[in-house]
Amino acid sequence: MLEILYVEDNPADVFLLSTAIKRINSALVMTSVGDGEKALEFLRKAIGCPCAIVLDLGLPRVDGVEVLKAVKSNPDFRDCPTIVFATRDGRARIERSGHTPELIVAKPMDFDGYVNVARQIIELCESFAALSNSAD
């Protein structure tokens, strides 16, 4: 089972991305948590790496940059593909953190934009899964 972790506090964004992903690949499972603290808790309990971690930067409790730092600093999760929704200012914050996600994109403004982003996420997810399976 391929699982995407989406860390987002806006239920409408969660709905749009989830719907877009299901439209393209109904076999993928998307788990969402509403803040960075819950994301880190989810990962501590996880068995293995999600096939993708999608982060919003403006999160309550622990922001997206801190979650990205925690993921990329942890040997168990540093190879997990990470996708960050960021503005130009957010990109600068990410660059200053010293931790680079696999993909930085602007948050879509409409459903078609979410479908395009979902395609990129699914491609990363499937590539990660193929690499993980070949390493076993």
User: pLDDT tens for residues 67-89?
Assistant: 999 999 999 898 899 999 987 78
- The H or E element spanning position 29 is strand 29-33
pTM, to two decimals: 0.91
State residue 136's pLDDT score.
53
Point out the residues of the chain with pLDDT beneath 70. 133-136
State residue 22's pLDDT score.
94
Helix ranges (DSSP H) in the chain: 11-24, 36-45, 64-73, 88-97, 111-135
State residue 84's pLDDT score.
93
State residue 93's pLDDT score.
86
SS3 82: strand
Query: 82: which residues sit within 8 A by CB, 6+ positions away?
Result: 52, 53, 54, 55, 68, 71, 72, 101, 102, 103
Go through the domains of the chain in sequence order and give each one's CATH number: 3-135 (3.40.50.2300)
